[in-house]
């Protein structure tokens, strides 16, 4: 049976404007699943993943409230592919389960609809097949760097290191069904988002259900 909803993956690079564009889409009527919130939820005290992480990585990854300190955990796994894999094997299946539960509840509430999920590493982590459409929010590298410097108060070197660690945005665009360029005014970005939204609604109309 053909799906009667559109699942849209919104991606891009660090600071390229994913949240900005997702907010515009949400204002136009897209339902939103926030992976960042899901990732935080599944490691809360009392959840299965919490216990497994503490068993595997020790109480040193907890903060003073006995909650998992994501920064400490991030540092713990940063330099070890093996540890990162262990952590991903604990969290990813739970995040996916929550994702599908949210998707089901959105669909039963809203029927035919567009559901977006913002996922920074969507392409790198091989999640393309999950989505009906992929939107890449693009900015040229120099603009991306300037925005990072401004927003995150980084040194040139730190900003460069972050950009270098990611797949270049030009490459990500090759996987996109749609690209929104976000190097100009927010107004111009908004115009592109509206055009894209109109296109999505036409596609949605064409679906059964």
> What is the contact surface with ligand ATP in residues (CB under 6 A)?
12, 14-20, 120, 147, 151, 182, 186, 189
| DSSP calls for 129-192 | GG-SEEEEEE--HHHHHHHHHHHH---HHHHHHHHHTS--HHHHHTT-SEEEE-SS-HHHHHHH
CB of 209 to ligand ATP, least distance (A): 32
> Is the Cβ of residue 62 or residue 117 nearer to ligand ATP in the bound state?
117
Residue found by looking up tokens 């296109």 in the block = 199
Determine the longest span between alpha carbons in the chain, in angstroms: 53
CB of 80 vs ligand ATP, minimal distance in Å: 24
Nearer to ligand ATP (CB atom), residue 91 or residue 189: 189
CA distance 198 to 5: 15
Q: How far is the CB of 97 from ligand ATP (least distance, A)?
A: 24
Taking the C-alpha atoms of residue 125 and residue 187, their distance in angstroms, rounded to an integer, is: 32
- Specify the residue, 31 or 182, whose C-beta has the smaller distance to ligand ATP: 182
The residue among 120 and 140 lying less far from ligand ATP, judged by its C-beta, is 120
Nearest distance from residue 70's CB to ligand ATP, in Å?
14
């Amino acid at each position: 049976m053909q799906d009667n909803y559109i699942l849209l993956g919104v991606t891009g690079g660090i600071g390229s404007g994913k949240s900005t564009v997702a907010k515009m889409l949400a204002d136009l009527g897209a339902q939103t699943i926030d992976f960042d919130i899901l990732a935080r939820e599944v490691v809360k005290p009392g959840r299965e993943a919490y216990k497994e992480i503490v068993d595997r990585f020790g109480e040193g990854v907890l903060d003073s409230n006995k909650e998992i300190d994501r920064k400490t955990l991030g540092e713990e796994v940063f330099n070890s592919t093996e540890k990162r894999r262990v952590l991903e094997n604990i969290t990813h299946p739970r995040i996916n389960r929550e994702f599908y539960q949210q998707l089901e509840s959105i669909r039963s509430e809203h029927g035919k609809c567009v559901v977006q999920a913002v996922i920074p590493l969507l392409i790198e982590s091989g999640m393309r097949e999950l989505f009906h459409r992929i939107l890449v929010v693009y900015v040229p590298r120099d603009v991306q760097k300037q925005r990072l410097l401004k927003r995150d108060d980084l040194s040139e070197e730190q900003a460069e290191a972050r950009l270098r660690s990611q797949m270049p945005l030009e490459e990500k665009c090759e996987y996109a069904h749609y690209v929104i360029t976000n190097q100009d005014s927010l107004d111009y970005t908004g115009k592109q988002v509206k055009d894209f939204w109109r296109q999505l609604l036409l596609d949605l109309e064409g679906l059964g259900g």
